[in-house]
Amino acid sequence: MDELMRRRVYGADHDDPDPGPRPGRVYVELVAGPLDGLLLDVTGWPEERLAAGAALGTELGKFGAGGRTVYGPVEGDPKRWSWEADGP
């Protein structure tokens, strides 16, 4: 868990002095793709939403500003979501 506590959370401001995870929250690690290594706060997400993954806004993907990148659960590893695709 110490390794996760040093990571940056998706959506944290770049000038945030503490962009890491907060106690009492639930996170998944984003693996591969443009958001590789970031943590996504999934606190309170229902099981069906966790199973579906998420399309996350990012300027870092194939479509640049206004684009999205899709991440979904890694089978057998509920703490990690893998990159699937970029979209407009």
Cα distance between the two ends of the chain: 34
Query: Per-residue pLDDT for 1 more than 50?
Result: no
Phi and psi at 10, nearest 5°, equal -55, 135
pLDDT at 53: 95
Amino acid at 22: R
Which residue range is the domain that position 8 belongs to?
A: 2-87
Structurally, the chain folds into a number of domains equal to: 1
pLDDT at 4: 53
C-alpha–C-alpha distance, residues 16 and 23, integer Å: 17
pLDDT at 3: 52
Residue pLDDT, tens place only, 28-81: 999 999 999 999 999 999 999 999 999 999 888 777 788 899 999 999 998 999
